[in-house]
A and B are shown apart, each in its own frame.
Chain A
Amino acid sequence: MPAVKETVETVRKIDVDQYKYGFVTDIESELAPKGLDEDTVRFISAKKNEPAWLLEWRLEAFRRWQTMQEPTWARVRYPEIDFQDLHYYAAPKKTPGPKSLDEVDPELLKTYEKLGIPLREREILAGVEGAKVAVDAVFDSVSVVTTFKEELAKAGVIFCAISEAVHTHPELVKQYLGTVVPTTDNFYATLNSAVFSDGSFVYIPPGVKCPMELSTYFRINEQKTGQFERTLIIADKGSYVSYLEGCTAPKRDEAQLHAAVVELVALDDAEIKYSTVQNWYPGDKDGKGGIYNFVTKRGDCRGQRSKISWTQVETGSAITWKYPSCILRGEGSSGEFYSIAISNGYQQVDSGTKMIHLGKNTTSKILAKGIAAGRSDNTYRGQVTAHRKATGARNFTNCDSLLIGDLCGAHTIPYIESKNSSAVFEHEATTSKIAEDQLFYCMQRGLDEEEAVALIVNGFVKEVLQQLPMEFAVEAQKLIAVSLEGSVG
């Protein structure tokens, strides 16, 4: 059989139903009643003993949301979501404020093990000293355990659940929440503002270099539960933080909605590096199930010479709708976006970034690598704009797409707009296919087919992988290989 035909054949048979993290942990959870109205919002707020201002903030968002329409401009297709048929709150069975890991449900700890959380980080979860990655583990919607708080506290770093920060640092939350992604921003962000469950809060004080990488594992674990994370990271003047977000989710039949909001604020001379490895359930081999990931991530380079860098490795979810962006407000500030988006099976990805140049001499760099296999659709959508006052703004964009097989699609949709004649924007894009001959060549040297694909793909995404913190990069490299298993014949 000619090679191309054979590939098509194999891709048709491709079994993406090998999701390694497909299990449901048996923990009794507390669910909000199905549906969404003001009472649901009040229920969530009450569950968290929130102050009145936050409830009001949520309600305002909810009222706004009721007037909004779901966006339809993305290149994704999915059945209509019945927002009244979802639960908007789920918490693991309440134990009164676990003080130590001994009090944490052993089922949870087992879950981390199954998730393949690296040993070192599991050790941290088990309380072993000496390791240096702090894990604020989010199990479903509530942060269950936060470790290494003391060492961080010594540096003055605040790293906790946002629901906790509302009580312990209300002034900071009040000052910054919703200032990067306002409650009116877009359909999903507004929904998130109304019903957000929990997420991380980080504050790095002036001049402090955060002594360790901050790491959060997310996990969606409740049947038919929308997941509405809310993360807020503030880097005060001259500070630095690197934040890692990694996700897996259990297998299930029903599509799940996930609409997170991440807000980053960098003040003068501050730098935030935000890295994500996302591996949520993509749906089975027939395209059934899988996570709907409608995320709003935005960073505000509010201060002069501030810097925000997004790095993402996206391999999961049935639908990804995600555009981590930078508002380059401060003079001389810079934004970066490094992305690897892999789609296989029936996955649909519409992802990219926005670089909004407002201040003088602002710079941005975009390096996006899309890999489409199976019957998937992979779209890069990016916007680069320069405001009238953005004199000397510079952007460099490079988007490359790699196709595996011939039933998938790759699309590049750049929007470039400059209102300042001194701005210099460059855009490069390529699309290529893994050639059968390349695979044969690698195999002739002794690599099996999957090793060959992984090698070629890792070569393709190398520049982005190099942006990830070391241990994350190694994991990401493995994940890429796993994501493309069985993608060629």
Chain B
Amino acid sequence: MLEINNLHVEIDGKKILNGLNLHVKRGEVAAIMGPNGSGKSTLSYVIAGKEDYTVTEGEILLDGVNILEMEPHERAHAGLFLAFQYPLEIPGVATMTFLKAALNAQAKSRGEDELSPGEFMKKVREAAGKLGINPDMLKRPLNVGFSGGEKKRMEILQMALLEPKMAILDETDSGLDIDALRIVAEGVNAHRDPDHAFLVITHYQRLLDHIRPDTVHVMAKGQIVRTGGPEIALELEERGYAEYLGNAA
């Protein structure tokens, strides 16, 4: 599904990723854990196509297609979704309007008709209900004045509606209390199936108690330095990242 080979990335001349390799298979839930400053967020932004970064070497393939030359919205159309660590506020644009614009843009890219207003409302209300999102919130401007937890739920709502084949969750657990964390995790788990893949980026083990990964990668100094099963997460919880900070290239 997602294949990253020898990825080198700089920002303002500073190297952040140093030959990173990562494969996520269809239907897999992969987790990336790593200390602060290891390049986790950079990786998620580069996959999604944020402009600030310069890719000096390597490739990112989504279903075998190199997406590095694609615009962010083209990557979204190709089935890529990023749940932001810090979701943006869009003043004056009702959440409902935003969701509709996004869904319609993606439907259009697939050559499909837009959903009728009735179908759209029904779909959104259902998905919002499952995430414990108050329908009144959908009328408010997107993320404006939302709490940290509300913003994160809104990210998961968008993911649920857009049904991406490859979803990246960037520190979705940060700033969440345990109840919100569980709801968000349930939202993700509800979409686990053989066709959807997830890349869950986190600093802490606790999210992985709720979203059980198939694979755990440890990232340090811009590389994946270790890959294994869920047991790695527990080990990291116990021993910390210290051992990876010394020996990475």
Question: Footprint of B on A, CB under 8 Å?
Answer: 1-3, 6, 435-438, 440-449, 451-452, 455-456, 458-463
Contact = CB atoms under 8 A, between A and B. Distances in A.
Interface in B16-53: 48-52
Q: Which of A440, A451, A460 is packed against the most chain B CB atoms within 10 Å?
A: A440
Interface of B: 12, 48-52, 54, 71-73, 75-77, 81-82, 84, 87-93, 97-98, 101-102, 105-106, 109, 141, 158, 162
12 contacts: A2-B52, A436-B52, A440-B48, A443-B72, A443-B76, A444-B48, A444-B49, A445-B73, A448-B73, A449-B73, A451-B101, A455-B93
Q: Which of A435, A444, A449, A455 is packed against the most chain B CB atoms within 10 Å?
A: A444
Contact of B88 (A3, A438, A449, A461): A438
B88 A441 contact: yes
B106 A446 contact: yes
A457 to B, nearest CB: 9
Contact of B51 (A438, A440, A460): A440
Given A455-B98, A459-B141, A448 B90 contact: no
Given A3-B52, A446-B109, A446-B162, A455 B72 contact: no
A3 B51 contact: yes
Given A440-B72, A446-B77, A6 B51 contact: yes
Given A441-B87, A448-B73, A462 B105 contact: no
Contacts, number: 91
A417 B48 CA distance: 53
Contacts of A438: 88-90
Main secondary structure of the interface of A (DSSP, over half): helix
A459 B90 contact: yes
Contacts of B75: 444
Contacts of A3: 51-52
Given A441-B88, A458-B93, A446 B76 contact: yes
Contacts of B50: 440
Q: Which of B48, B71, B105 is packed against the most chain A CB atoms within 10 Å?
A: B105
A462 B94 CA distance: 10
A440 B71 CA distance: 10
Contacts of A437: 88
B111 to A, nearest CB: 14
A1 B88 contact: no
B73 A447 contact: yes
B101 A447 contact: yes
Given A438-B90, A440-B50, A458-B93, A447 B141 contact: no
